[in-house]
Amino acid sequence: MNRMRIWGAAAVMVVATAVACGQTNPPGEHAQHNETVTSSPGTAMPTGPTIAIEGMGFSALGPVAPGTEITIVNNDEVEHSVTSRAKDVFDVHVDGKGQATLKVPEAPGEYAFYCLYHPAMVGTLAVR
């Protein structure tokens, strides 16, 4: 009888773990405003302003004009986000090896951002 309880508990743990680990947030689930969330693996490199994500870090981007569209290129295998530290400014999620577009806020300023999935990944967007 004890063996049946142990096997039953183990089966419940395996199923619960599989469900928890198998759940993923679709790119738009965390979406705020002022953004377009798309993911398109294998798309050609953009010609305009770009933030590249590679090696668990963001590339530097010089100042951009208000309302500019920035392409985010995720060269890593895992999903990342470009999420504003200020609430409801921008939150773009990009699948591994994917691309997305971020529309820059209209108000000039410095916008600190990070990756929601990897909080040590940080950057700043300068809008002028």
Predicted confidence pLDDT, tens digits, the chain (128 residues): 555 444 444 433 333 333 332 333 433 444 444 554 545 555 566 789 999 999 999 999 999 999 999 999 999 999 999 999 999 999 999 999 999 999 999 999 999 999 999 999 999 999 99
**Strand ranges (DSSP E) for 31-68?**
50-53
Q: DSSP readout, 76-125?
A: SSS-EEEEESSTTS-EEEE-TT-EEEEEPPSS-EEEEEE-SSSTT-EEEE
pLDDT computed for residue 47 by the predictor = 81
CA atoms within 13 A on the CB side of 49: 18
Q: What pTM, to 2 d.p., does this model score?
A: 0.69
Q: Is 16 helix (H, G, I), strand (E, B) or coil?
A: helix
The type of residue at 36 is T
pLDDT computed for residue 62 by the predictor = 95
